[in-house]
A and B are shown apart, each in its own frame.
Chain A
Amino acid sequence: MKWFERIFRQKFPLATLTIIKRRGCGGMDELAIQTDWQRWLEDHAPKFLLFARQQARWEADAQDLVQEAVVEAWQRQGDGAPPPPALVFATIHRRAIDRARSEDRRTGREQAVVEPQLESWFDTSVEDRELNKLIQDGMNRLSGEYREVITLKVWGDLTFAEIAEALGIPANTAASRYRYGLAELRKLTKKVLT
């Protein structure tokens, strides 16, 4: 690989270089990347969409947010591999704020015509259908600050440090919001859950 780096440095002295993969066959590279992406999307796309649904007003906006954030994080990462989930969550959060600001400038008439769509946030298996509805209702009644931290921690599998980075808050704040938010959510669902 050194020969390549040497030649590259001669041709592009100011450029930075990242070697992605080295394998015996180019076809295998493509296949491995495609398989990695497929697996990564199956694992993480539901979490991203759950978070985006809480950040956006409409379902279509939530799906757009997820797609835009994944593509942006992938391009920013720059090595062709799937980006870290924390980076995608952070991008969803930032883009949702930008989108909300631009939407606020729209006319009230337009907002009155289009009603937000209520999609189910969780898998609707028969035994958990009631629980799903209960938690979704409780989450909707929580303040946004608590809701996003709980979502990133419980279903996004992020650490408090990653949540802090994604939301632009101190890690201690993320931890305390999680604790207070969880207590609040439990109060809202107390009649049914133990």
Chain B
Amino acid sequence: MNDREHELFEAELRRLQPAKPPEELMTRFAAVLPVRSQRTEARALPAQPPEIWWVWLRWLAPGLAAAVAVVVMLMPWTKQPSRLAAVNASPAPGTNNVEIDRQLVAAFDTVAQMPNGEPVRFRCREWVENVVLRDPAQGVVVEHRTPRFEMVPIGFEIY
């Protein structure tokens, strides 16, 4: 078999494509690997009722927080000036002029190999919180930037 015949036969073989795996195997992959398959998406559709509940809860939570804030403000003891405020001669900046800005600077995943060989995955988020306090009456502006990071360990699924 010369080189030319060799190449022709090789090309003939390459024309054949390996058969696609059965759907069952791909479903098994989707269960153990981070795969987004059409089948798993289709299965996720009937799970809409919990999502609707979640949407309602998201609206309910701020409403509830506002209601609690109003009740606290209307309570009699909150109207009395505190002893600390009475002692302090200079008035504190108005609390209405406080801005808190939180920015997500970076997000990434890391994998660490512990000394015993166990892999651990970390999900990291880097935030910058910027707090600005303004009192126009006294001409005071206080700005404070604080970097903050979250490091959440996520265990590997051991098959």
Binding site for B on A (CB under 8 A): 1, 3-4, 8, 12, 14-26, 29-31, 33-35, 37-38, 41, 45-47, 49-50, 63, 66-68, 70-72, 74-75, 78-80, 119-124, 128, 131-132, 135, 150, 154-155, 179, 182-183, 185-186, 193-194
Query: How distant is A13 from chain B, measured CB to nearest CB, in Å?
Result: 9
Determine whether B54 belongs to the interface, using a CB cutoff of 8 Å to chain A: no
Contact B18 A155 (CB under 8 A): yes
Contact B20 A123 (CB under 8 A): yes
Determine whether B110 belongs to the interface, using a CB cutoff of 8 Å to chain A: yes
Contact B8 A38 (CB under 8 A): no
Contact B13 A67 (CB under 8 A): no
Chain A residues near B156 (CB-CB < 8 A): 75
Contact B108 A16 (CB under 8 A): no
- Report 9 cross-chain contacts, Cβ distance below 8 Å, ordered by A residue: A19-B110, A21-B108, A31-B36, A45-B21, A46-B17, A46-B20, A128-B16, A155-B18, A186-B9
Determine whether B35 belongs to the interface, using a CB cutoff of 8 Å to chain A: yes
Chain B residues near A71 (CB-CB < 8 A): 32-33, 159
Chain A residues near B13 (CB-CB < 8 A): 135, 150, 154-155, 185
Q: In the complex, given contacts A8-B112, A70-B29, what are 6 additional A-B residue pairs having Cβ atoms less than 8 angstroms apart?
A: A17-B111, A19-B108, A22-B106, A34-B34, A47-B18, A135-B16
Determine whether B70 belongs to the interface, using a CB cutoff of 8 Å to chain A: no
Q: How many residues of B contact A (CB 8 A)?
A: 50
Determine whether B28 belongs to the interface, using a CB cutoff of 8 Å to chain A: yes
Docked Cα-Cα span, A19 to B21, in Å, equals 33
Docked Cα-Cα span, A47 to B151, in Å, equals 38
Query: How distant is B85 from chain A, measured CB to nearest CB, in Å?
Result: 39
Chain A residues near B149 (CB-CB < 8 A): 3-4
Determine whether B43 belongs to the interface, using a CB cutoff of 8 Å to chain A: no
Contact A29 B33 (CB under 8 A): no
Query: How distant is A79 from chain B, measured CB to nearest CB, in Å?
Result: 5
Docked Cα-Cα span, A179 to B20, in Å, equals 27
**Chain A: which residue is nearest B120 at the CB level?**
A15
Docked Cα-Cα span, A179 to B3, in Å, equals 10
Looking at chain A's contact residues, the main secondary structure is helix
Determine whether B107 belongs to the interface, using a CB cutoff of 8 Å to chain A: yes
Determine whether B60 belongs to the interface, using a CB cutoff of 8 Å to chain A: no
Query: How distant is B133 from chain A, measured CB to nearest CB, in Å?
Result: 27
Which one of B76-84, B121-129, B135-143 is at the interface?
Answer: B121-129
Interface string of B25-61 (1 = CB under 8 A from A): 1101100111111000000000000000000000000
Contact A186 B16 (CB under 8 A): no
Contact A193 B9 (CB under 8 A): yes
A38-B36, A75-B119, A122-B16 given; A194·B113 CB < 8 A: no
Chain B residues near A185 (CB-CB < 8 A): 9, 13
Chain A residues near B29 (CB-CB < 8 A): 41, 45, 67, 70
A24-B106, A46-B21, A71-B159 given; A35·B15 CB < 8 A: no
Chain A residues near B9 (CB-CB < 8 A): 182, 185-186, 193
A37-B34, A41-B35, A135-B13 given; A123·B18 CB < 8 A: yes
